[in-house]
Structure formats: structure tokens, C-alpha cells
Amino acid sequence: MIRCLLLGIAALLPALAQAEVPEVRFARQFSMGYLQFNVIEHEKLIQKHAAALGIPEVKVTGVRFNGPSMMNDALLSDTVDIVGGSPNGMFVLWAKTAGTPREVRAISALVTLPYVITTTDPEIKTIADLGKCKKIPVPSLKVSSPAISIQMAAVKLYGLKEFARFDPLTVVMSPADATVALLSGAGEINCSVALPPFMQYQLKDPKVHTVATSFELSGGPTTYTVAYTSAKFRSSNPKLYQAVYEAMGEATDRVANDIQTAARYWIEDSDSKLTVDFVAAAGSGKDVKWTMVPEATMQQAQFMFDVGTIKVSPRSWTDYFFPEAYGLPGS
């Protein structure tokens, strides 16, 4: 009797394994550079494209982190599958894993948009005055895009060897907490690297002004965020990966053409008190492009290599993107 029961269970195991629902776990930070993720989750785009590829059911979940360091750890530990973050955070992980079975690369760009260094101190007018900042909040030290922008400012002023001159001023804080600290005047926060939509919220206050933009520091428009994953996830789930890529394309078109709906999704997911019109305005404008095309990412990677933050120098942007994106006019 027991032997028959065991044989029955053994016969069922392949069917149970086959019936297991595949899952895609997204991770992103607290700014609004990941509107595609909100659209994908609300409109079930991965499920839609997976079904067309013969995968009838997919579970999609999402979590948020403050800064790339925690997200990268989660990706390496297989706690999440797809990460949304700055190219800078992705470069750190790509350089560590390049050439290994767990290599991390970008799936696509998400958006090109500027962010700004702000201050409440009237004496801080240009990057030459950054030494007067008491503390500058950034999502992660040294590797987040705000932290890299502060280093770029130092290099513009003092040369490559002095890239870390302002690093001691940086402290880890979420964009929302940094905004509260700056506007309240509490503590030592009198400067900030403000990301949308917190940037727009800060600049509504008459005591806040812009010191420099990320585009000014980098010499032109640059990709703000990318989606990235591991070669392991892509090779283990080829059809599911294709569904993710196709969903990313559809979501990008949706955000570019219907920013109001994307803004509403972001507000719901973030439990934000901002209005749809305010968030939509922050996610649109002449300098904002919701696009899968990577822009000036090589320049950012080269900067991080030159200052020693990453130890591998890419030859082309295709070195750190997966092949599905190679048809794009990237840089």
C-alpha cells in the first residue's frame, strides 16, 4: 500500500513542477524613473505577452528599495529578477559579474531626463560653492546617480584626482526624506540632489533654488534609468524574458503617449499625496524622453572607470546590454 502511494506521488511530481506558475519580481527605487514598471503591473502586460508566447499564467510582484546597493544585493541573491535603477548602479554590478554565468546587463533604457542639485542657502550659487553644503543626501554613497553627479561636479572644478572631494558631505537618505529635511531646515541638510517628482516639489518653495542640472554636469542629455537583470534569469526563462522585453516596449509607448495614466498608477503604487497633474507634469516636458534607447551611457561608464569605481572599461554600450536591444540607436 505504501509503495503504491509513493509511486503515485512520484508520478505526480513532474505534473506539479510543470504546473508551477512562473514569477517575475520587480525592484525599483522611490523616484518616478520607472513608470513602465507601474504600467506593466497595472495593465498586466507581461501576462499578456507571455500568454501570446504560450505561457498561460505569470505572477508579477514588485518591491521598492532606497538606492542601488540594496537592489543589487537583492538581484545577486535571487530575491528579485528585474531591477530598475540608474545606469551607474547597473555598471557596478555589470563590472563585478562580466564574463560569468551570473553576468548582469541592461534590458533597456527607461527614460532620459534631468535632475538637479538644489539648496536653500542663498550663498550657494554654482558648483564652485558646493563646499558650503553641510550635508548632501543621496540614495547610495559613491554609486547612485546623485552621488556620481556630485563627483562630476568635483572633477569639473578640481580635476580627476579630486573626484571624491565632496564625498564626505554625502549622506544616505531617500528622496522623500531628503526633501522633508531640506524644506524643514532641520539638521544639517541645506543641499540636495533632487529627483523627479521631488525635484519639482522642492522648487515650488521660494527658498529653494537650482545650483546645477545633471545634464550640465554630464555635458548633455543622459539616460536616467534602465531596467536590468541577470544572464541567469534570461537564459533560464527565454520566453518569459521575451515577454518582459515586449512588455517593456509596450509600456514605454504607453507612458510616452499617456503620461496622465502612468502618473495615476505611480501615485497609487507610491501612496503619494501628490496630484496626478503634478506628477504628470514632472514626467513630461521638453527634456524628458520615455524611451528604450540608451543615451550617453558610455560616457557615464567611462567616468566611473576613470575614477576607479568600476574596474572594467566597456568597449561599447552593447557590452552591458542584452542582445535584444542591439537594434536600438544606443550610445
Q: What is the pLDDT of residues 273-303, one digit of tens each?
A: 999 999 999 999 889 999 999 999 999 999 9
Q: Tell me the pLDDT tens digit for each residue of 75-133.
A: 999 999 999 999 999 999 999 999 998 999 999 999 999 999 999 999 999 999 999 99
Mean pLDDT of 186-191: 91
Is 0.85 topped by the overall pTM? Answer: yes
| Residue 294 DSSP class | -
Distance CA 9, CA 11 (A): 5
- According to the model, what pLDDT value does residue 65 have? 85
- According to the model, what pLDDT value does residue 3 have? 47
Strands 191-194, 23-28: pairing kind: unpaired
What is the percent of the chain with per-residue pLDDT over 70, rounded to a whole number? Answer: 94
pLDDT at 316 over 90: yes
What is the percent of the chain with per-residue pLDDT over 90, rounded to a whole number? Answer: 86
Mean pLDDT of 313-319: 97
- According to the model, what pLDDT value does residue 71 have? 85
Q: Please name the fold of domain 23-112+223-325.
A: D-Maltodextrin-Binding Protein; domain 2 (3.40.190)
Residue 5's pLDDT band, with cuts at 50, 70 and 90, is very low
Neighbouring-strand partners of residue 104: 230
- Check whether the bond before 294 is cis (ω within 30° of 0): no
Picking from 6-15, 20-29, 164-173, 278-287, which range would have the lowest pLDDT averaged per residue? 6-15
Average pLDDT of the chain, as a whole number: 92
Mean pLDDT of 311-315: 96
| Range(s) of the chain covered by CATH 3.40.190.10 | 23-112+223-325, 116-218
Distance CA 89, CA 145 (A): 7
Helix, coil or strand: residue 308: coil
Asked whether the beta carbons of 208 and 182 are under 8 A apart, the reply is: yes
Asked whether the beta carbons of 64 and 6 are under 8 A apart, the reply is: no
pLDDT at 259 over 50: yes
CATH number of 116-218: 3.40.190.10
Residue 10's pLDDT band, with cuts at 50, 70 and 90, is very low
Residue 177's pLDDT band, with cuts at 50, 70 and 90, is very high
- According to the model, what pLDDT value does residue 12 have? 43
Mean pLDDT of 243-263: 98
Distance CA 266, CA 252 (A): 14
Query: CA–CA distance from 96 to each of 6, 12, 127, 147, 172 (Å)?
Result: 46, 41, 32, 19, 23
Distance CA 48, CA 62 (A): 17
| Burial of 280 from C-beta contacts in 10 A (0-12 / 13-18 / 19+) | buried
